[in-house]
Amino acid sequence: MNAIGGAGAPGAEFVIRGARPEDSARILKFIEKLADYDGEKDQIAATAEDIRESLFGKKQAEVIFGEENGEPVAFAVYFQNYSTFLGKANLYLEDLFVEERCRGRGYGKAMLRRLAEIAVRRGFERLDWLCLNSKTGAVGFYERLGAAAFDDRKLFRLQGDALRALADVRR
């Protein structure tokens, strides 16, 4: 746990900490807040038990919380990915969310700084993430941090029936 300087409301202490199994329901609440913000709350299928099992049982991803005066106001979900071109692992940020009432206090930057520290400490070369084009404020924020956007790539996804159909073909 480390308090950060230069961020937050006057007199506020912002601390970033790793999530623990007992935070599973809190993680789900943040996921729901993010989905609501993105207008996709109906897409949530995860339960607190799913979160507990995948994060703390199978260790498929990790979570950090940003707390203002002991209250969680930000979270980030991340995991290791791999670049064949680099021949090295990297960090992938799946989700970053700061409570609306706490935006503009430097907490998003502090969370990204912590993720960059984790990546460097683990010997990774990159920190990657996706951002919707429609989130122009976030895009500008990331660009001001020095992040580069790639317009020459598209995200593809197989899910549901299409995923199962392909899996059947490959048996």
Q: Which amino acid is at 57?
A: G
Catalytic residue chosen out of the listed positions 78, 92, 107, 142? 142
Contact 66, 98 (CB under 8 A): yes
The 3-state secondary structure of the chain, one letter per residue: CEECCCCCCCCCCEEEEECCHHHHHHHHHHHHHHHHHCCCHHHCCCCHHHHHHHHHHCCCCEEEEEEECCEEEEEEEEEEEEECCCCEEEEEEEEEEECHHHCCCCHHHHHHHHHHHHHHHCCCCCEEECCCCCCHHHHHHHHHCCCCCCCCCCCCCCCHHHHHHHHHHCC
Q: What is the dihedral of CA 39, 44, 89, 3, to 10 degrees?
A: 70
The verdict on whether 142 is a catalytic residue reads yes
| Catalytic machinery residues | 142
